[in-house]
């Protein structure tokens, strides 16, 4: 069953999971961007749950960080509340735990990303109060904190809280025993998560809250690890009494975290944004800009990279369809002409480059470098007379429309490569009619689409 909520839609069969008090579905925005839609039935909301809902919305609106799931929108109807947030395609830490034991280096990397996200909570005087593997999501290799239904604004130094919040197995002893607690309750939960990542099981096992109240008072001993600093940090998190538990400053100043930060700082500031490829590689994976929206670029620089990524997407797709029959060669050629033409418009755009702070730092120069690389890639893979070729947008749209019609008529018989091509053709046909140089918009990436099974690709095609 398909439902429409404002600028978004979702299928009731596309269930992702359940949060503190709502059901989460995978949806899609009007411009084709995948989203997560949390649905809360008004009939199930009492005064306490309503406050939790308001807390989540208030908390998410305050937060903007690449290691925190991004809040997008909120809607109310007669029957439901809807919270729209970014969709994370990598599952959560439960999936990582199920795959088997992680080495210490991998756990430290996850820890560092959790701390990066949590630091923004700290800056906004928020605690999460429900840290657990299910609420730590993954998207394109990035770890993100999610589900802020229990988040509460506090004074980090002085406030003591007495309310019961969170998932029992990961709750701090003070919460379980209904004692006053501080922001250190999240430190306990962090230790529980790290322990489970390393050993595939929590340090405490209980079938009900009564058992948990009995067992949580027993000291936890972290087994020996090859990384003694990580072992000591987890041990410090899992101290029963708050006065003995390490605090947030001690965690952020821990040599393990500082060492990880120093290693990252020695790398080139924007290394990793472009996927490493061989110089002569010319397939659809070339020049993949993976996380330009997460880097702290100026607004006009983000638009610039978004436009560049769109040209890259069309350019690389042209190589993908070269393996098809002869009738697709004209489309491939026209997509390359379009890409080069789009790059030229971008290069000459006064709207972008006359904006303040575009060229005066490394980020602006990075943007220009990416455009030069893309133009050179075009020149390296096109005829010598490319400069004399005229681009005809109407011709490209006509070719796209023709292929879209032919492929859609035989949708049920298409193989995987043809399904992927159909999706990209429908995406380009729609986007080329609405895209503007002065705004960001969704850029479909063939490599991301390839991660989905045929059934989901088919569904996405039908949803266009």
pLDDT score recorded for residue 308: 81
Q: 411 vs 162, which has greater pLDDT?
A: 411
**pLDDT tens-digit series, residues 63-98:** 888 899 888 888 888 888 888 999 998 888 988 898
pLDDT level of residue 282 (50, 70, 90 thresholds): very low
| CA-to-CA dists, residue 329 to 157, 317, 326, 400, 408, angstroms | 66, 12, 5, 12, 19
Q: What is the 3-state secondary structure (H, E, C) of the chain?
A: CEEEECCEEEEEEEEEEECCCCEEEEEEECCCCEEEEEEEEHHHCCHHHHHHHHHHHHHHHHCCCCCECCEEEEEECCCEEEEEEECCCCCEHHHHHHCCCCCHHHHHHHHHHHHHHHHHHHHCCEECCCCCHHHEEEECCEEEECCCCCCEECCCCCCCECCCCCCHHHCCHHHHCCCCECCHHHHHHHHHHHHHHHHCCCCCCCCCHHHHHHHCCCCCCCCCCCCHHHHHHHHHHCCCCHHHCCCHHHHHCCHHHHHHHHHHHHCCCCCCCECCCCCCCCCCCCCCECCCCCCCCCHHHHHHHHHHHHHHHHHHHHHHHHHCCHHHHHHHHHHHHHHHHHHHHHHCCHHHHCCCCCCCCHHHHHHHHHHHHHHHHHHHCCCCCHHHCCCCHHHHHHHHHHHHHHHHHCHHHCCHHHHHHHHHHHHHHHHCCCCCCCCCCCCCCHHHHCCCCHHHHHHHHHHC
pLDDT score recorded for residue 335: 87
Q: 266 vs 412, which has greater pLDDT?
A: 412
**pLDDT tens-digit series, residues 307-332:** 888 888 888 888 888 777 777 888 88
- Mean pLDDT for 47-59 is 68
- Mean pLDDT for 274-294 is 32
pLDDT score recorded for residue 450: 79
Q: 138 vs 445, which has greater pLDDT?
A: 138
pTM of the model: 0.55
Q: Which of 208, 204, 200, 134 has its CA nearest to residue 172?
A: 204
Q: Which of 349, 335, 343 has its CA nearest to residue 421?
A: 335
For 137, counting Cβ atoms within 10 Å of its Cβ (0-12 exposed, 13-18 middle, 19+ buried), the class is buried
Q: Is 430 annotated as a binding residue?
A: no
Q: 211 vs 27, which has greater pLDDT?
A: 27
pLDDT score recorded for residue 317: 85
> Which range in 124-133, 226-235, 272-281 is most confidently predicted, on average pLDDT?
226-235
pLDDT level of residue 437 (50, 70, 90 thresholds): low
- Mean pLDDT for 53-65 is 74
Q: How many residues does the chain have?
A: 464
Tokens of 388: 């004399």
Tokens of 198: 């390393």
Q: 125 vs 413, which has greater pLDDT?
A: 413
Q: 239 vs 258, which has greater pLDDT?
A: 239
| CA-to-CA dists, residue 427 to 406, 441, 443, angstroms | 15, 12, 9
pLDDT level of residue 381 (50, 70, 90 thresholds): low
Interaxial angle between packed helices 104-123 and 228-237, expressed in degrees from 0 to 180 and rounded to the nearest 10: 40
pLDDT level of residue 211 (50, 70, 90 thresholds): confident
Annotated catalytic residues are 130
pLDDT score recorded for residue 188: 95
- Mean pLDDT for 101-130 is 85
**pLDDT tens-digit series, residues 123-157:** 777 778 789 998 899 987 889 998 775 554 444 33
Q: Rounded to an integer, what distance in angstroms lies between the CA atom of residue 443 and that of residue 155?
A: 41
pLDDT score recorded for residue 136: 93
pLDDT at residue 185 greater than cutoff 60: yes
pLDDT score recorded for residue 30: 87
pLDDT score recorded for residue 286: 32
Question: Could you give the domains of the chain?
Answer: 2-86 (3.30.200.20), 93-264 (1.10.510.10), 299-463 (no CATH)
Note whether 283 and 319 are within 8 A (CB).
yes
pLDDT at residue 167 greater than cutoff 80: no
> Which range in 31-40, 111-120, 227-236 is most confidently predicted, on average pLDDT?
227-236
Looking at the DSSP bridge assignments, the partners of residue 181 are 161
- Mean pLDDT for 281-295 is 35
pLDDT score recorded for residue 343: 82
Q: What percentage of residues in the chain have a pLDDT greater than 70?
A: 76
pLDDT score recorded for residue 21: 61
- Mean pLDDT for 265-284 is 31
pLDDT at residue 298 greater than cutoff 70: no
pLDDT score recorded for residue 269: 35
pLDDT at residue 334 greater than cutoff 90: no
pLDDT level of residue 289 (50, 70, 90 thresholds): very low
Contacts of 385-393 with CB under 8 Å at 24 or more apart are 386/340, 389/337, 391/334, 391/337, 391/338, 391/340, 391/341, 392/334, 393/338, 393/432
């Amino acid at each position: 069953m398909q439902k429409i909520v404002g600028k978004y839609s979702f299928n009731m069969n596309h269930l992702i999971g359940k949060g503190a008090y709502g059901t989460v579905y995978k949806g899609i925005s009007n411009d084709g961007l995948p989203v997560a839609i949390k649905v809360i039935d008004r009939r199930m909301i009492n005064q306490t749950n309503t406050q939790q809902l308001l807390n989540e919305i208030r908390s998410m609106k305050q937060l903007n960080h690449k290691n925190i799931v991004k809040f997008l929108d909120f809607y109310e109807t007669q029957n439901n509340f809807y919270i729209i947030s970014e969709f994370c395609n990598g599952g959560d830490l439960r999936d990582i735990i199920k795959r088997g034991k992680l080495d210490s280096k991998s756990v430290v990397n996850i820890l560092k990303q959790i701390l990066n996200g949590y630091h923004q909570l700290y800056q906004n005087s928020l605690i999460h109060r429900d840290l657990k593997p299910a609420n730590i999501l993954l998207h394109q290799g990035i770890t993100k904190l999610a589900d802020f239904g229990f988040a509460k604004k506090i004074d980090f130094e002085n406030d003591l809280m007495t309310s019961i919040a969170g998932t029992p197995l990961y709750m701090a002893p003070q919460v379980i025993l209904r004692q006053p607690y501080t922001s250190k309750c999240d430190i306990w939960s962090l230790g529980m998560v790290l322990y489970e990542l390393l050993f595939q099981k929590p340090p405490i096992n209980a079938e009900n809250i009564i058992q948990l109240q009995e067992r949580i008072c027993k000291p936890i001993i972290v087994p020996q690890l090859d990384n003694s600093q990580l072992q000591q940090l987890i041990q410090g998190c899992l101290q029963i009494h708050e006065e003995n538990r390490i605090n947030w400053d001690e965690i952020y100043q821990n040599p393990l975290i500082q060492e990880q930060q120093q290693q990252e700082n020695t790398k080139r500031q924007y290394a990793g944004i472009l996927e490493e490829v061989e110089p002569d590689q010319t397939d659809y994976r070339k020049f993949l800009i993976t996380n330009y929206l997460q880097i702290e670029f100026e607004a006009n620089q983000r638009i610039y990279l978004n436009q560049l990524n769109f040209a890259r997407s069309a350019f690389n797709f042209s190589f993908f369809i070269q393996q098809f029959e002869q009738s697709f060669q004209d489309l491939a050629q026209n997509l390359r002409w379009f890409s080069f033409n789009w790059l030229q418009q971008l290069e000459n755009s006064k709207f972008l480059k006359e904006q303040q702070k575009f060229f005066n730092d490394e980020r602006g120069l990075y943007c220009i470098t990416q455009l030069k690389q893309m133009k050179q890639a075009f020149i390296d893979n096109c005829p010598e007379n490319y400069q004399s070729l005229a681009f005809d947008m109407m011709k490209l749209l006509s070719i796209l429309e023709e292929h879209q019609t032919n492929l859609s008529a035989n949708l049920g018989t298409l193989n995987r490569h043809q399904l992927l091509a159909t999706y990209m053709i429908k995406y380009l046909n729609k986007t080329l009619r609405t895209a503007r140089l002065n705004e960001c918009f969704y850029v479909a990436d063939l490599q991301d689409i390839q991660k989905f099974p045929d059934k989901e690709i088919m569904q996405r095609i039908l949803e266009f």
